[in-house]
Structure 1
Amino acid sequence: MARAFAGAASARRFADMLKRQRDSQSLTGHIRLLAQPAYQRLLTAEPFFRRAIPVLCIVFIATLATYRALTLSYEHEETDLRARDDLTMIATTLAARLSTAEAALPEQGFSTALQAALADSLPPRATGDGRRILVADPDGVIMATAPIRSDLEGRPLADLLGAGQPLTVFGARAGVLTVSAGEADEAYATVHHLDGRLGMVALIQSKDMIFADWRASVSANVTLFVGTASVLLVLIYAFFAQATRAEQADQIYAATRARIDLALNRGRCGLFDWDLSRGRIFWSASLYEMLGLQPRDDILGFAEISALAHPDDIDLYDLAESLLETGETTVDRMFRMRHANGDWVWLRARAEVQSEPGIAEPHLIGICIDVTEQKQLAEQSRTADLRLRDAIETISEAFVLWDTENHLVMCNSNYQTLHNLPNSAIKAGTPYAQVMAAARQTVVSASPTIGSDASDPSSSYEAQLADGRWLQISERRTKDGGFVSVGTDITALKRHEEKLMESERRLMATVADLRQSRQKLEVQAQQLVELAEKYSEEKTKAEEANQAKSEFLANISHELRTPLNAIIGFSEIMDQGMFGPLGSDKYREYCTDIHDSGRYLLNVINDILDMSKIEAGRMELKREAVNLGAIVTDVTRIISAAAAEKTISVTCETEEGLALSADRRAVKQVLLNLLANAVKFTPDNGSVTLAATHGRMDGANAVVIAISDTGIGIRESDITRLAKPFVQVENQFTKTHKGSGLGLAIAQSLVKMHGGTMEIRSSVGKGTTVTVTLPVEARPASKAA
């Protein structure tokens, strides 16, 4: 166990040394290394290194710490300045846009309209990084917020900014100041005054959100600095340890030469001593003579020995690595090495791994014997045997040879397969009776003639096996009294004879069947002609019905839209009192109902026409590069008014860089339909969330859009019916929400036309989540489920 542990510790140094030697172009430098050990060359420079290295490391660590501290200080100042500039620019932009939009705000529903105008006026990422936007009236009372915070509306702005600050008095001239009132920590704030019914717009951003990335950078830099300093300290320790190991290497070198001298006195064979950890090898003079080389008293390098060894027989690097890693202590290998005249000499190396007490580096010490002549004789015998066995194996017949005592000598694989013999039964020397007992395919119509009268030197007969196969068996006696049996599979011939007789009988029966089949075919042909005529008539009727449907939808859309446009237009004129007051408030209420009902009916008609186009395959997608984030912003703005009426919060979380090739109008319609359904079926004070992220679909890039609500939910048994046209979970007598039932069907059809998928998950009383997956690149439309 100790030797294996020491070998594993040396394996890495040995691999590094081998790489340097293979890159070397000359052996002379390696011999000089042995003549001048590493410790001697290091001795003169070691005192200087011991004093200089720690000092240099400390100076480096101090310089690195100073540089990173200055860099982090500059980054803090830059982050602070950028946050102030962002607040100023956003406040200036919002003030200009709200001043422009203020004149168009109605008196009734002023708060709702102001909230919508604020949402439309927000620059991109205005509410990112924890920024809050507050719009107040001239008295400083908060009227609108972004993101929407209903708990702040109606509160004085001074409660959040503090009573003693100058922001509400001086406005934009006060710039960006630090406030703490109403916040758990300090925050930056700026106020810009507005004209008209709006008093001021304020922006507040927490310092924790501003400097979050900077604090993360500080943590990373501190961690990196501590790690770098630790690595340098470890390197200093490694240097001193390496110097100690170099001194020990010289002691091992002297011990190696003493062991080599001892081995040379033991006999006339070639001896070697291989330092496995350093790759240095000593050869005796007799080993040089075996290879026809001039003896020398130098220690050979690993690269020189590897060049002499045959690469197909031995890999010295693999051998050394195996000894060091597995802990094996003995080696007995035969391999070839190149003679000085160019021939190959076979050597047998028998060695043992030894280590000096107290020294971890192992040595492989052993003897090499020239076995070229024995190897040549064995090779010739093996070649002759292989040729004989290969010849027997390649014949198509089953071959078996028995000796004079009916013991198995050899057989080929065809014989084993023929009788279905296990490998244990075809070993040389197995008795005939034992082989036949192990056979799973026995002869049922004849028996072998082994052991019969010697006066009959040969015989030939046919035999049938238990599985129905037939053999032509030829048997011959050998000169030494043995027996050779060759079996040829004639099953195909036997079966061919049987098939010829059977074919003649079948031929007569087939002629009679053909006559009957001909009569049946004539009857079927007549029936097919009649079916083809009926199919043509039905196809013509279906085409006429489809054409009539298309013309009806085109006519009815014009006939319905024209009066509906008039109803919607005139009701809107009456509701706004463009030609004078109506007189009674009931008239205005009825006009509003007429206007809303007309718009609802127009939307239903549009849904029916869109569904008809999709089913008829006449809707075409106009694909273009679409920025999904912009579409989500537009859809959220459109749906926010309906959500605000039910006090439903709509939250959008969209990753940066979401773009795909799609029809902009179709994608927008899908999101509007899904968000409208979510708002429709969500009770008051609920929430709707839209999350858009990157994803994968069938191994390709895709966009995943998940719309979740806290609505009434859907039973699992009803989910499969929802995406079908005109299907609603509630019937006409129990439904509590109006609609045509085409929203989900249109959305699912448009998604499939883009090659995407739509999945609905819901729980009754908890809410519904609709997940839409759209491929980034254009792909064929998926088939309907």
Structure 2
Amino acid sequence: MARAFAGSASMRRLAQITAGKKAGTLTGHIRLLAQPTYQRLLRTEPLFRRLIPVLCLVFIASIAVYRVLELSYDYQDVELQARDEIALIASVLSARIGSEESELPDVGYRSALQRVLADALPAGATSEGRVILVTDPSGLIVASAPLQAEYEGQIIGDIFGPAQPLTVFGARAGVLTINKDSGSPALATVHHLNGRLGMVAVMQPEKDIFAEWRGDVSANVTLFVGTATVLLVLVYGFFSQATRAEQADEIYAATRGRIDTALTHGRCGLFDWDLARGRVFWSASLYDLLGREPKDDILGFAEISELTHPDDIDLYALAESLLSSGDTTVDRMFRMRHANGSWVWLRARGEVQIEPGRGEPHLIGICIDVTEQHELAEQSRTADLRLRDAIETISEAFVLWNADNELVICNSNYQSLHNLPETAVRPGTPYAKVMAAARNSHITTIPARGPAPVAGSNASYEAQLDDGRWLQISERRTKDGGFVSVGTDITALKRQEERLMESERRLIATISDLRKSRQTLEMQAQQLVELAEKYAQEKTNAENANRAKSEFLANISHELRTPLNAIIGFSDIMDKGMFGPIGSSRYAEYCRDIHESGTYLLNVINDILDMSKIEAGRMDMSVTPLDAATVADEAIRIIRAPAQEKMIEVTCDVPEGLVIAADRRAFKQVLLNLLSNGVKFTPESGQVRLTASLRGGMARFEVVDSGIGIRKVDIERLAQPFVQVENQFTKTHKGSGLGLAIARSLVELQGGALAISSVPGQGTTVAFTLPLAQEAHAA
């Protein structure tokens, strides 16, 4: 059954092929009978494919349940039989030992008891792991069978467990399970004896009782697993075969659907013409081309002939020609009648092939709907006629050349202009041949001469004919690389142009009078130019003088720093007494004054040197991503020492992670200059605060102090080199006046800006901006 369903794809394809071709074995009444049966089989196949795996799984589950129930019943039977045997053995032993107990001697009591126990044992009593124990009235084990040395001398309660009903009730307790919680449970029973003997106990481990049953379970499980595995493999094989068959059917249906869709949208179809029998196979797309419903894949010769136009093709003559001449290819265009009565133009292209095994010729090919192409060709011919009529009606000489410099079309005006014969103006005539037969050929530009102008660009020139006429030649490149030329008679325009030129000559005489006045104005303009040149020369001299001044300051500052370093160093050594005391305390005070004055002078010279470098354009800047908080902390640590001398509180509020694009040394110098100015002009117990914030892609730094403040009229003069609010005679603070100028220049060199705002008596705020690192990188 599985193989039958797995082969359903092949059966379907065979049914479709045989149903489509009306071939031999499945025709007439046989087809009518077989087709419904096969269709019913196809409809019920999905149900069978789903039902068979379910039935197999139900069968496997039924077997499993049956075997589990049967094994559980066997387990109960084995346990019941073991309990009966243990009870029977205990009853027999208690009766025999009890009858012989009085005859046991006092000397060798245990040996005699062991011998009596051995004689009293029924056949097979100690098989399958059974153990018999005999105790005295105190419960001490005195004999065992088979001999168990480890049990003798123990109390039976230790073996059976405390509060065991067996030792209390004896035979009335029946057979119970002992040592349930241990790893070796067993079934046991106890019978009480009279006289010097206390009890006789029989016990049997459960592992020995169910050993044979477990073997049966293993065999049954093995057999069931093998059987289930075989069935599952068969079910999987059936299901995979059915799935592959279904996939094959789906692929076949999808492929045929795609082919039909492609043929339908491509307005074409397939045909197979049996030349020997006159039968033609048509695809469904051919029916769609003719607007007809597909009724059968096979059509007769007469049906096809009725649909074809008699003026286009004779199918009978075509078949005779193919069979007699031996031609193998066909390429014909003909019309066939549409369902609405119109005619559809088709192009049939095919090849004659011999059917293998039968030797029957078949013409196999494709039919394409070329109605639109045929109509377009007719429209193109009509458009050509209309274009020729339109060209002939224009008064200009018109000619069109193709990309190969061959004549496409020209009008009679062009032909008469060059006096061309009819043989020279036929379409496709090369340009050289046309010009060889032309008169006035010098007025026409060669289309291929020089680089071709851009398609759509215009070129125009004038040419005079031998008879005195003038032509305006307009040329243009077509998009396909061709060349179009139009010649217009402009003789009247040229004559008008000559009259205008005569008027122009008369105007020239009038203009000459005005030329003298213009010469006077030119002389005055020349004087202004000379003055401008002198001004530019003086400006250049001033700039050179300023540059020389900056270079001089830079050089002299460098020369001053060398002796100042020695003065500062030696005065520091003398002040600290590194080589011993220098004597009077006044000398030490002089040394400190020398050191402080030298340090102050060195700072002034450094400021002058930095300013001169900036003005001379020699300040090197290395702009890199920089953590503003780190540099700000360094500047604050440096400025806190002089601030503490005046008890000024210096605070810093720069957020962590603020990365700017700046030069580290320049940024630090700007902060130090602004912070030192704030400390310098802030009275004791004041405050100086450094803050930072983000302002639209820029970092804004503010140095705010509670100092003396600056008047509004003085703010505009600050930040210029050597400018101070106080004059030389009234100022109370030392300094060169370059701090703000250097700070502003360094900020502007890094792409920022500096601004000052202040209220006299309340304090000053100096703010500057620098670009963020990410914004500078994006820029």
TM exceeds 0.5? Answer: no
TM-score of the superposed pair, with normalisation by structure 1: 0.33
Higher radius of gyration, 1 or 2 = 2
Does 1 or 2 have the higher relative contact order (CA < 8 Å, sep 6+)?
Answer: 1
TM-score of the superposed pair, with normalisation by structure 2: 0.33
